[in-house]
Amino acid sequence: MHTDPQYIILLGPPASGKGTQATKLRAALELPHIASGDLFRYNLKHQTELGLKAKGYMEQGELVPDAITIRMVMARLRQPDCAGGALLDGFPRTIAQAEALEAALAEEEAQVNLVLNIVVPDDVLVERVTGRRLCRECGASYHVKFLPPQAAGICDKCGGELYQRPDDTEETVRTRIAVYWEQTSPLVDYYRQQSVLVDIDGNQSVEKVTESLTAKVAPIMVSRN
Ligand code: AMP
C-alpha cells in the first residue's frame, strides 16, 4: 500500500471550474479541499484581522500579498487532516507562493505530485463569473444559465440562500483575469518544467471536465487505496 502524502493543485483562471471540480474530486481522492479564496472569505465574514487585511485586495480583484497568503495557507496545511496531503484550489497563484509551498513540503519529504491546469478562454470566463451564484450556507456553486438551481435563489443541496460574490462583477473579473495572466500563468511553465502539469480542457460540460480530471487523478487514487 502506498500512503505517501499527495498534493494536487487545481490551477486555472477565475471561474475556470476549480471549486466545482474540487468538490467532485475530493471525496474520491479522500483529500481535504483547501481553497485559499474560501479561507479569505471565512476570515472576512468573521471579521478577523486577516480578513480585514485581505478585504481591500479582494474587492479590487487583486491578489492578497504573498506573505499574508502563504502564512494563512501554511497554517491550514499544518492541521492534522492534511497529514495525507491536500487538494489545493486557488493556491499557489504566484511563483513566490509556489516556492514557499515547495520548501514547506520538502521539510516533510513531500512534493507537489500533480497540477491540473484547467484551460478556458477569457470571454467564456466573463460570462461564467457574472452568472455565478453561491450558497451562503454550504458554498455550492451554480450558474443562472449553465447550472441553474431547481428553484431560483435556493440551494438544491441544503436549501440555503444563493448570493452573488461581490467580486463577481464584470469590471472586477476583468481585473482578476488580467492578474491571472500577469501573476499566475507563469506557474504553468514552472510546473510543466517539473513534469507534474497536465492540461485539461475546461470549456466543456461540468461532467466532461470531471471525467477528464478523474482520468488524470486515477493513478493517484489507485496508489492511495
Ligand atoms: P477565489 O475565490 O480563488 O477567486 O479568490 C478570491 C480572492 O481572494 C482573489 O481575487 C484574491 O483577492 C484572494 N486570493 C485567493 N487566493 C489567493 C492567493 N493564492 N494569493 C493571493 N490572493 C488570493
* CATH of residue 49: 3.40.50.300
Residue 147 lies in a domain: no
Does the beta carbon of 133 sit less than 6 angstroms from any atom of ligand 1?
no
Residue 164 lies in a domain: no
Mean pLDDT of all residues in 196-211 = 96
Strand 162-163 relative to strand 132-135, pairing = antiparallel
Residue 169 lies in a domain: no
pLDDT at 2 over 70: no
pLDDT at 81 over 70: yes
Mean pLDDT of all residues in 144-163 = 96
CA distance 58 to 13: 15
Residue among 184, 179, 64 at smallest CA distance from 118: 184
Residue 148 lies in a domain: no
Q: Choose the catalytic residue: 76, 128, 133, 176.
A: 176
Residue 151 lies in a domain: no
Mean pLDDT of all residues in 161-166 = 95
Task: Count CB neighbours of 109 within 10 A.
Answer: 8
pLDDT at 44 over 80: yes
Residue 152 lies in a domain: no
Please give the radius of gyration of the chain, using alpha carbons only, rounded to the nearest integer.
Answer: 17
Contact between 200 and 214 under an 8 Å Cβ cutoff? The reply is no
Q: Give pLDDT, residue 222.
A: 65
pLDDT at 207 over 80: yes
CA distance 221 to 216: 10
CA distances from residue 130 to 16, 82, 163, 168 in whole angstroms, order as listed: 13, 33, 12, 6
Number of domains the chain contains: 1
Task: Count CB neighbours of 201 within 10 A.
Answer: 11
Which of 11, 20, 34, 36 gets mutated to test ligand 1 (max ligand atoms within 8 A of its CB)? 36
Look up residue 214 and give its three cell numbers.
478523474
**What domain range includes position 109?**
6-120+182-224
What residues are paired with 7 via a beta bridge? 86, 112
* pTM, rounded to two decimals: 0.91
Residue 144 lies in a domain: no
CA distance 223 to 46: 39
Residue 157 lies in a domain: no
